[in-house]
Every structure is written in structure tokens, then in C-alpha cells.
Structure 1
Amino acid sequence: MDGMTTTPVLADAAAYARAAVDAQQAAAAYYAGGTSPLDDDAYDRLSRSIAAWEAAHPDQVHADSPTGKVAGGAAGGDVPHTRPMLSLDNVFSGDQFTAWASSLERRIGRSVERWSVEPKLDGLAVAARYERGRLARIVTRGDGTAGEDVSHAIGTVVGLPERLAEEATLEVRGEVLMTTDQFEAANPVRVAHGGEPFANPRNAAAGTLRARDRAYTVEMTFFAYDVLPSGEAGGPAGATAVEPAAGGLEHWPHSELLAYAAALGLHTSAATAVPGRVVTGAGVVLDRVAEIAALRAELPFGIDGIVIKADLAADRRDAGSGSRAPRWAVAYKLPAVEKITRLLGVEWNVGRTGIIAPRAVLEPVEIDGSTVTYATLHNPSDITRRDLRLGDHVMVYKAGDIIPRVEAPVARLRTGEEEPIGFPEACPQCGSEIDRSEQRWRCVRGRDCHLVASLSYAVGRDQLDIEGLGVSRIVQLVDAALVADLADLFTLTRERLLGLDRMGETSADNLLAAIATARTRPLSRVLCALGVRGTGRSMSRRIARHFATMDHIRAADAEAMRQVEGIGAEKAPVIVAELAELASVVDKLVAVGVNMTEPGVTPPPPPGSETQPPEGAREAGPLAGLAVVVTGAMTGPLQALSRNQMNELIERAGGKSSSSVSRRTGLVVAGEKAGSKRDKAEDLGIRLMDPDEFAAMLGDFLPR
């Protein structure tokens, strides 16, 4: 979670002066139109190197230095703020936050009883002024003293209503951003009207908010992070003129201000997966920071950190503010998940289901702790929609274990030497025709196109787990026409196997024994082995536990499939269609005796039946209703289980596997070298077990 990177050292005064100018120009380009040539990480490292040089040479500070200035200062504006609209200081680790919190408590002479912890939304800060409940003006942050009037955007920003739920006169401050979906919809519209694509959602919001007199409109979203009483524009810094209806907002806790904003009809983080929360103690603050950081990759909008504020008004008042940032709030910055690099080429790969997927070949770049050389391009229409070209500088996004993706080209860095990306005329794997009827192109041969890859996946450890069937052996079986689909593996005989090169009697007997064992795998494993598009290991387990038998799964229509957790309106019909396509293979698997039921699950009643399974029938087991985290090296009966098999075991026993420890965690299984997750469980008072205790508890559910 700690995201601090090495600060580059500036060699001399000339290097410092160049760095200051580069930072000023990058900020001006970003805040004027969202087109900065630097990504966030590069800009942050540049700013830190400038600050380090200035700390050592305080008498040589350049006029263009970004230090000591409010973010956005390069843009300016002519609308005075009712109060200074400041930036936030940053911390990059738990130790830095703890030191900052201690300094705040020393400043105010007491402990901070309540902290507000909320996501730091990656957008553009604005102040929205309401007069008797009507949105009258939107102003950008600018230099913190005055900003730009962008009231032309009224009516295009979701979450910033033109009228509030009551006739309040006040000012709401927050971030305007584009969600992932809004960004996906905006760039094609922009390109269709002759504009260059935006590099990422943040840049898109910054450029769109300022744009006037466009022939088209694209949607943005607002999230409130503060509410102020109305004040005289242009009045003394810090002056307030409290509206009687506002009820002395400057005396409210920060968390109550946000609740009030939500009640007025404004967007806040409260309705998201990472709502702002009030906590006590610096240790619990860091727990909440970790929880938000763990959800970052799944959010439908960008965050670049977590904002931590003293919640009580008295603490904020006594702490005061500096010229650039308040002393009662800080931003815990997360590691950069976006970087700019060059698109060197595009590879076209055929997956195990016949999907033809483009993959970007990148100039290597370090993102989120790993070196990225490849990234997904999703599909051909995605390449066209983003107007990508070979040689482009591109914005690449990666968070956690999520596969890196190319977001968009940085069009302003084009030299004119970029070239169009060529699309395949035939399947790059087998040369057959390509089905282009959907966004994701597919070889007309489907799974048969890449049978070796399909079978290799099916026999893997987390699917059917057939030891002795490596890629080379599968190639032999396919080339010898012994196997044409998954079910054919279960028809292999000793005589046929002994006819293969380098296959002895012992190897043949061992392989046949492994295949016999594979017949008994639970339905979830069989379903996963089939490689149904739109599913994976965890989704296959959910489907199997929901329906209990393959017959029930095959009988489900799209509406029934949508009842499974995590399956939406788009995915459900794809899964149903895939299962129909696999009908002949499933029939063959049934015929050769492969198990088609999920152990420990009550089958649902027949369609139309009034009989319902007893409440909790699907959650029976010693872990019923518990979120379980497994950490460290397992020993004893659990030692041989893979992480996927552990997750499978937990779910069979009625629990839900999780990767992070939080207050919602019910049990932590801590093996050898468990580390920080064990420590966190102890701090939160969560029940701990060692692997032997856990195995004894789940004795009836352990694999035989």
C-alpha cells in the first residue's frame, strides 16, 4: 500500500530551473485543457525533486516553482472565491501519516477524537454556488483565490442538480470527473466531431468542463466533499456570511456536512463502494485506507488516494490553514496506476474459446510495482474507437492484479510518423474465417481452433487436475486424433495410450488413474473446465452452488442466470448461449460418468413449484455467513491445497473467501509467516485460527 517512490536528485541550479519550468508548463497544459504531457507519477516525482532542491537552497527558489502553490494555480481565473480553495499536502506511507497526525495533535494541544476517511477522487475541483436552492454558478479552483467561471456546464454534470431538495443558499465544493462508462462514451463522440481523443477520464473531465460552444455534449459526474455557508464573493479571505437557513454550517462536523449534502440531492461518496467513514484512532484510519485501496481497481471512477480529515469543527478551527493547504487534512497518495509509454506493436492472439484478442506491445514501463510490456486492447472496435496508431504515446492503466489496459493515445505528443494498426483478414491461429458479428471477433471454428489451449486449461490443477497431461502430451493426443474435445479424454484406453511415443505402461496406468479421479470432481470444477465465456473459477463455483446440478444449469434461461451473484444483464445471455453451444460435449461427459452435481448444496425446486428450500440451506456448514481470509503458508492437511482449492473449501463449508482483512472479516486462518494480515486481525479483535485448527473444523469438507 505504501506508494512512495525514489525522489530524483537535481544536479544543479540549471537542472532545477528546467524542472520548475517543465512542471509549470505541465500544470498549465493540464489545468487549461487536460492535456498534460506528463502522467501523475512523473509530475509528482518532478515536484518532489523540486521541493528537495528548494529545501537545500531556500534562497534560490524559482518564480515558476510549483511548491507553495495551490494545484491548478497555472490556470487562474477572474471569479473570486468566497474562501480560499486550497490543495492538500501528501503522505505516501503509514509512518508518514502517523507522523503527520502527531504533529496535528501537537498543534491543537489534544488528541483528534474523530477522523473522516474518504476516497480522493481523481477529477477537477470546483465550487458550486446555490442561491435559494438554485444552481447559480460553477467556479474552478484556479489559483485558490479566484477561479474560472464554467457555469456553461450546468445541466451536463450528473450529481450536481440544478435545484436542491430545499431552498438553501450555500456553496458546495467537490470534484467533477468522468466515470469509466462516461469516458468510454465521450471519446468516440469527440473523435467523430474532429477532436483528438482524451488520454484518460481525468484529462477528459478537465478539458470538457472548460469547453464552450461545442456542437456536442458529453456527460460528467460530480461528488461533493465540502459544504460552506454562503459568503460575499470577493470578501476577506476566510470571511463567512452565514445564511440563517444554513444553521451555522461552519460549526458542523465534516461528516454531517456530507450527509446534509446527500440529503439535498448532491452526489457524495456515500452511495459508492468506498463511502466516507468516521473512525477513531490513527491505526483504524490506516485500516480504512487499506480497505479503500483494495477496492480501487473495481471502482467505476478513478481515485489517486484517500483523504483524511479531522472531523470535528473545533479541531479544524484550531489547526487552521497554511497558504497552500489546510493543516487539518492530508491526502494519502496511492501508487500510480497510470503511466505514459509508447505503443510498439499489436499481436493478435486466439484464446481457448476461439476469441481473437489484440494485445498491445509496449515500451517497458513500471506501473504499480511491476514492469509492464503488454496490455489488453479488448477488441478491434476498441482500437478504432480510441483512434490508436502504431508509435503512439499511450496512457496505460494497471491496478493491483488487474491486467494492464491501454486507455487512449496522448494525441498531443504525435509526431506525424505514427501508422495505422492492421487488422487480420483471417484467423491468425488456423487461417479460417473470422466471425465479426460481435465486438469481440471469433474464429468460426470456436474452441476447435485452439483445442490444445482449451484442453490444457481444462486439465489444470484448479479445474480437473489431471496429472500427466502436459501441453506436449495433449498435442500428441490431438495429432493422433484420439481427442477432439474434453469428453474424449474420458474415453482413452490403455491400448490407445501405449500407441503414443514415449508412453510406457506405468505412465499410461498413472494417467488413466488420474482421469478416473477427475470423473469425481465437483460440478464447479467441471463447469470451469468447460471454459464457458464470461466465467472463471470463482464464477463457476457461484453458478454450481446456486443451481446444484448441471441439469438445473442447462435449464436456466438468462433471467434465471441473472440471479447468480455477479452475473448481470449482459453476461447472463452469453453464458446461456455458451452452455447451449457446449450441449454435445456435456452430453458426452454425462455418458462417460463425469460427476454433474455440487456436493453440500440443496438443489432448487422445480420451475413453478411452491416448495422452497429452507432458509440458509445453501449456506449450511461451519463457516455459514463468515468472510474468511487465508494468509501465510499452510501446513498439515491444508499444505497441498492451492489458493483456489482453499477458496473452494471455504465456500463448500458455507463461507465466503476474501483477500483483505477488514471489520467485516469473520475469521483469519494464519499460517507460517502470516505477517501484516495476522497483525491487523489481532488489532481488530477478529478470530484467528492456525491451519491445523481450521482443518479440524472443516474435517467433513476436506478433499479425500
Structure 2
Amino acid sequence: MTSTDEGEPVVAGEAATTEVQQRVAELTARLEEARLAYYDRDESIMSDAEYDRLERELRALEEAHPQLRRPDSPTRTVGGVVGASFAPVEHLQRMLSLDNAFTAEEMAEWDARVRRELGEQSFSYLTELKIDGLAVALVYEDGELVRAATRGDGRVGEDITANVRTLASVPQRLATDDPPALVEVRGEVFYPVAEFELLNEAQAAAGKPPYANPRNTAAGSLRQKDPAVTASRKLAMYVHGIGARQGVTVRSQSEIYALLAGWGLPTSPHTEVLSDLDAVNRYIKRWGEHRHDVEHEIDGVVVKVDEFAAQGQLGSTSRAPRWAIAFKYPPEEVTTKLLHIDVNVGRTGRVTPYAVMEPVTVAGSTVELATLHNAFEVKRKDVRIGDTVVLRKAGDVIPEVLGPVLALRTDDVREFVMPTECPSCGSPVGPVREGDKDWRCPNAQHCPAQLRERVFALAGRGAFDIEALGWEASIALVDPEHGRPADATEPRQTPVLTSEAGLFDLTVDDLADVRVWRRRKRGGVEQPPALEPFFYTAGNAKNPPAPRATTVTLLEELEKAKSQPLWRVLVALSIRHVGPTAARALAQAFGSVEAIRAASTDELAGTDGVGRIIAESVQEWFTVDWHREIVERWAAAGVRMADEVDTATEKTLEGLTLVVTGSLEGFTRDEIKEAILSRGGKASGSVSKKTDYVVVGENAGSKEAKARELGRPVLTEEQFVVLLEQGPAGLG
């Protein structure tokens, strides 16, 4: 037996070889071990993606060799076992799991089977977000909550009634004068993302390690022996169906949702009843793009046939209903092996440890490097070289190692030791002040790594936005000997740029002789590093070396960058603590680099959005000779150092704080912020009692709910436009 790159087995014939039997036994053991850890110890010894991959491989082997399929195979059973800490509870009706789909093709196959089996029968799909929480069943008798239990193995769970009674979102009595004699309500208990972040902030403040993820933390909180501990955690619950019932007559899943909400039970605001697969796919796509705008963690979308008559016709397998499926998004948390820990020197000299790992696919991309922040964090998380670690990458967020899987730690792991010399220039590194968690290289002017990072950063979207000046081009300009082999005999090159001060003086002739060290493969074999021209073509007898198209684009974009607004120039200067928000505030308050340089600490600190730490950092930056040279040479090259006075735009939002959530049809994210700031307002990312208005677009998520909870005014996009043009008076 062999495997594909995705881990899918390739099996020839139906005879079960010894190798196949051993693989089935191995897969079964690994899946059962993972289940036991996940459901019964609230630990994750493998990622959901790895579990899904192994289960799919086992399922394929069992389909090819039915004689190897055990009745209690992980492909045919649900959940874990009941531990000794809680009394066992037999569910009134078995709690099933869900089959998964990972691609649009798999969703199409499921939809085709449903339509084939239902024939001409009319039906709809109820779609909802798949909450990454803990499945729980609530039993109400005559309207009173009498029992709550975990799913367990689907037949028997754990009695956690006392703990569930501490959840504010779960009513002790149904809000109806005519309650059913009996109803078993199913749902998910979860840790709201905002509350989980606060919990980990408290952990960090207390010097304790952070909790790994909201799901495991919710499960651990709900299974505390002392209900007071559960009560101290801000858990929530959404219900999504019923099992056993007496005195309840409904015809569809959506009717159940309306009934549950009418009884005062918490239901998700994100459910929709849709007519066909095209609409379902649009729902899946939309929430895939907005999965971080939801109040809880999600890992996919659940699609159910809405009508009960159709559900009954489709039936169930031993572990899952055939009328429902879970579409799983690419995982954002995976496990992988930590091979080594190296350090990177950033644009302000900060020396940051980062993890070098076995490549793994997460959030749709292959990752082998991830930040570890600083030596203190490495120690606090207890991450060691050789560990199996949990890696998280959410959307475009930089990948981060969350922590080790302690259950898989071996005796040969090694602790990380922070280097005492800069790996780029050899200068001694350490904390600038006593108690600093960050270590820094003090050789800011001449450290090749710091200059390389500064040039790369100033070209970023939040600064000059020079797309052609990427990472490799930055290396070519300031550190062309990067990657030079130890045995190289070629003369060392002098960098084209020894300071970012000369960036806007570059000419095409300056770039003609720049070469970089590159590795190439020939016949599938990687060759030793060799020098190659970077900005020019290699040339030959017929065609002499010439500037590459990307080089021409780079020079054109450098010329365009000279007219960028002042705030982008301030970001590009790499002043410590000055990001886009502070830069915008300084540019709006002072209007020019010269005015900012001349301002006192108190004047700078008094600017809304700046404060004393940033003010002191700005003043300190301008005391350095080579910093001032950057400003002078950029100005001499034509870079704009002052904003034109904007008399056309009225300050209709002066003193107001706005939060915009969801997608607006007429604005990009950058345009929204620019519209608010140019009119004197403040664009905030979180809703509080100090928020003046919350603008709500499509897929607004939890911020809209928070605004309504706090009684803050909620505006549509149309009202937002009126507010921009006329100020609060225009809203009536």
C-alpha cells in the first residue's frame, strides 16, 4: 500500500494484506487516543485537520476491505467515554455526529444524493455556522431544566447540570405559559472570543501560561467539579435542535429554531433557510471571508435539510444523519514538529525568536516559520526544540505557535537559549532597560538585518506602498551577500544602499551590477548557491544585459511614492511605536515633518491617539544625526514632507469615535478610515460606552450586538454617508 500526498491510501485489489491490517490498526489506535484526549481530558494531541485526514484514510481502507471494519470503529461511533468525575447519563435520544465535506465537489455530491433520494419532493436547506464548542443536551420537564449532559459517546454522557445552571444564557425555566411535558434541547457551549482574549490577558498579567484555545477552555470550564469555577468563566450557549420531545409539534428545523427562541433559549443569529446549493455555497463563501467577525470560534458551516418529512425519508447511518453535512473550512490550528528556533532582527533592532517547523498546511497555505515573540514568551509557553506544537494562522495574521502538546513531549527535547550576539552584525544584544522582555541589537545604523527590514517595511502597504520593492529586492539593495556560502571566493559586493536615505536617489545605472546568491535545481537536484544578476537580465552575445520589467516598475513606483501623504512618510521613517494610527494623528495635528520635529513632548503627547510614550519616541528619533539625514535627503529628492491644507473637507466628525463593522458597498477598509479621519473623527476597532456611532455593513458580527447591548447608535451605510456629509445634525 502507498499513499498520495494528501494521505489518501492507494489500494490495489480487495485482499487485505498484512500491511493494510497493520495500517488499519494503527489508524484506529491513533484516532481513539485523540478522541480520549479531546473528549475526556480536554486536550488536543492532534489538530482537527490531522484527525479528519486520518479518519478519511481509515474510512477509505474500510470501504476497500469491509472485513476489517470493526463495529466500534472511529468511523462508525461518536465522541468519547464517560469519565469518573461525573455521573453517567443516558440520553433520551441518541446524539449523532456529522459527516464532513471539505470541497465544493463533495458538497455537490452530497446535494446530488439528497435530491436523487427525495425525487420530486420539495425541500429547503437550513444553514448555520458550525460552532467550535462542546455539545450539550438540556432536558426540560414541564418547562423546568432538570438535567444537562455532555454528548459522551452519543448514548451516554456526563451529568453537568449544576455547572450548566451557572450559565447566564441558559434559562432555568422556559418562557412560556404552556410548556411541553418533555423536551431534550441540543446545543453548543462555547467561550466567546472577546471573553477568551480577556481571560488570557488576565493569565498573562498573573504570569501564567495562556489557555490554548476557546474550545478546550470551554470544555474544561464546563467540567469543573466546583460549579463556582464554571460560574467565574464567561461561557455562553447556542441551541440548534431538539431530540426527544412530548407535546411538541413542528414540521421543520427552522420552526424548531423559532420555537426555541420563543421559549427564551439562546439561538444563533446567523442561521438562514436557503433554496438550493448555489445559495448554500454563497453562504459558505461569505462566512469563510468573515469567520473572524463572529462572536465565537467556527470551523465550518452546517447544512441541514429543513423539512422533517424529508429528513425522515433520508434517515441516518450508525453515526450521522444523512440529511445533514458539515462543510469544514481550511483549519486555522494544526500540529507540527518544532525543528529549531532561530532569531530574526527587526527594523527597530528587536531580536525575535521564531520557530522553524516541519511544513504544514494551515488556513489554506503551507507554513514552516512562525513567530515566538520573545525569549520570555518561549519560556512562558514552555516551547522546546523537538516538541509537537500547536500552530495557528487566522486569515492573513502572522502564524503563531500557541504552545506544545505536552502529552506528546519526548525526553530528547531541548530548551531554547537566547543568543547574546546579533546574528547579522555581531553586536552584543540584550534588553535596553532593566525588566524589558524584548532584546535589541543597538547597531541600528549599520546592522544589515535592521536596514533590510526597514527598507522592506517602508515599501509596505501601510507606508509608501511600493509593490515592486519586496523582500528579495530589499535584500538585493542593502545586503546582496545574504546567503553567501562560507567557501565562496568571489569578491564581496558593496551594497547599493547603506542607508534608506539614498532610496529616492537610485537610478537604473546604480542597479546594473547588483548580484545575489541563489540556489537553483537542475534535474531535480539542488545546486550550490551561485551569484546571479537581480535587477538586470544576464545578457548574452545577441542581447546585452538590460533592466528587468520589475526594475523599471520599481523606479516608476519610487517616483510616485514621493507624493504620498505625510502620514505614510512618518510610518516609513521607522520611528519606534509610530504605526499608521499614530502617524495619521500626528500628520493631522501638525501638518509637516518640521512642525512635528519642533513640537514639545507635551504638545506631541496631547495629540489624540499619541500619548507620552510615542511622543518621547518621536523626539528621541529626531536627536539622531543619521535619522535627520534621511529626512533631509528624502526632501531633497522630492518626497513630500508636508500635507496640503485641506480646506474643502469639513470636520463633520470632530470629536466623534466611530466603529465600522462588516462590509460596506461603497467603501474599502482604507477608504472608510480615511473618510473618518479626514473629517476629524476617530476610527476605532472596538465598541465601548465611549463609542459615538457603530456603522453596520453586511455580515456585521458581534460588534453590532455589542453596540445594541450598550445602547450605542447603530447606522446603516446610507446613514454613514449622511453623517460624513452633514455631521450628527444630518441624522435628525
Q: TM-score range by the shorter chain?
A: 0.5 to 0.7
Counterparts of 1:435 and 1:134, CA distance in 2: 62
- Aligned counterpart, 1:250: 250
Is the CA contact (8 Å cut-off) linking 2:250 and 2:256 kept in structure 1?
A: no
1:169-568 matched pairs, under 5 angstroms:
171-179=184-192, 200-213=213-226, 219=233, 221-228=235-242, 239-242=244-247, 248=248, 250-251=250-251, 253-254=253-254, 257-258=256-257, 267-270=266-269, 275-296=270-291, 301-424=296-419, 430-435=427-432, 441=438, 443=440, 445=442, 448=445, 451-457=450-456, 460=459, 463-464=463-464, 465=466, 471=475, 474=478, 518-523=561-566, 525-531=568-574, 549=591, 560-561=608-609
Q: CA deviation at 1:458?
A: 5.5
Cα contact 2:604–2:615 (8 A) shared by 1: yes
Per-residue CA deviations over 1:539-593 (Å, capped at 9, x if unaligned) read 79987998895589997879944xxxxxxxxx99877776566566699569756
Aligned to 2:129: 119
Instruction: Tell me, yes or no, if the aligned pair for 1:375 and 1:405 is still in contact at 8 Å.
Output: yes
Give distance in 1, aligned partners of 2:301 and 2:147: 28
Q: Percent identity, please.
A: 34
Which whole-Å CA distance do the structure 2 matches of 1:437 and 1:599 have between them? 43
SS in 2 for 1:126: strand
- SS of the residue aligned with 2:113? helix
Change in CA separation of 1:84 and 1:419 when aligned onto 2, cut-off 3 Å: same
Structure 1 unaligned runs (5+)? 229-237, 243-247, 562-570, 630-643, 653-662, 666-704
Matching residue of 1:84: 94
The Cα offsets for residues 73-132 of structure 1, whole Å up to 9 and x where unpaired, read as 687973122332111111222122122123223333446553222221222211134567
Match of 1:626 among 666, 672, 682: 666
Deviates more, 1:597-606 or 1:351-360: 597-606
Structure of greater relative contact order (alpha carbons < 8 Å, 6+ residues apart): 1
> Counterpart amino acid of 1:143?
D
Secondary structure of 2:397's counterpart equals coil
Q: Which residue of 1 aligns with 2:640?
A: 595
Distance 1:377 1:394, change over 3 A: same
How many Å separate the matches in 2 of 1:444 and 1:331?
50
Q: Does the C-alpha gap of structure 1 residues 455 and 44 become closer, same or farther in structure 2, counting only changes over 3 Å?
A: closer
The residue type paired with residue 395 of structure 1 is V
Query: Is 1:32 matched up with 2:40?
Result: yes
Contact 1:548 1:602 (C-alpha < 8 Å) held by counterparts: no
The residue aligned with 1:56 is 64
- Cα distance in 1 for partners of 2:372, 2:635 equals 40
Q: Conserved in 1, the CA contact under 8 Å of 2:452 and 2:479?
A: no
Q: Specify the alignment match of 1:681 in structure 2.
A: none
- Opposite residue 137 of structure 2, the aligned amino acid is A
Q: Would you say how many aligned residue pairs link Structure 1 and Structure 2?
A: 583
Distance of 2:260 and 2:355 partners within structure 1? 43
Counterpart Cα distance in 1 of 2:570 and 2:125: 47
Identify if the C-alpha distance between structure 1 residues 201 and 385 changes in structure 2 by more than 3 Å, giving closer, same or farther.
Answer: farther
| 1:154 to 2:128 alignment | no
Contact 1:545 1:601 in 2 (8 A): no
Amino acid at match of 1:95: E
Secondary structure at 1:118 match in 2: strand
Counterpart-to-counterpart distance in 2, 1:549 and 1:39:
51
CA contact (8 A) 1:197 1:387 kept: no
1:9-66 CA-to-partner distances (Å, cap 9, x unmatched) read 5742343233323322322232111235333223222222222222233344224311
Whole-angstrom CA distance in 1 between matches of 2:264 and 2:604: 40
Please state whether the residue corresponding to 2:245 is helix, strand or coil: coil
Distance 1:190 1:160, change over 3 A: farther
1:107 matched residue in structure 2: 117
Residue 490 (structure 2) aligns with: none
Between the aligned partners of 1:19 and 1:466, the Cα distance in structure 2 is 47
The corresponding residue for 2:152 is 142
One-letter amino acid of the counterpart of residue 392, structure 1: D
Are the equivalent residues in 2 in contact too, given 1:75–1:143 (CA < 8 A)? no
TM-score (norm 2): 0.64
Counterparts of 1:633-648 in structure 2, within 5 Å, are none
Gaps of 5+ in 2: 12-18, 481-492, 516-546, 548-552, 679-696, 700-732
Aligned-residue offset at 1:396: 1.4
Structure 1 Cα separation of the partners of residues 88 and 331 of structure 2: 33
Which residue identity lines up with residue 98 of structure 1 in the other structure?
Answer: A
Q: What is the rounded CA distance, in whole Å, between the counterparts of 2:314 and 2:590 in structure 1?
A: 59
- Greater alpha carbon shift after TM alignment, 78-87 vs 56-65: 56-65
Matched, 1:46 2:43: no
In structure 2, C-alpha distance between the alignment counterparts of 1:501 and 1:12, rounded to whole Å: 56
Q: How does 1:652-671 map to 2 (within 5 A)?
A: none
DSSP-derived class of the 2:235 partner:
strand
Report the counterpart of residue 8 of structure 1 in structure 2.
9
Contact map agreement 2:605 2:614 (CA 8 A) in 1: no
TM-superposed CA distance for 1:283, in Å, is: 0.7
Deviations 1:274-307 (A, max 9, x none): x333333211211111122223466674322211
Distance 1:428 1:215 in 2: 51
With over 3 angstroms needed to count, the CA separation of the structure-2 counterparts of 1:300 and 1:346, relative to structure 1, is farther
Deviation, 1:332, is: 0.8
Whether the 8 Å CA contact 1:34–1:205 is kept in 2: the answer is no
Quickly say closer, same or farther: Cα 1:374–1:318, change in 2 above 3 A: same
For structure 1, which segment, 319-328 or 588-597, has the greater mean C-alpha deviation from structure 2 after superposition? 588-597
Mapped to 1, the partners of 2:339 and 2:36 lie a distance apart of 29
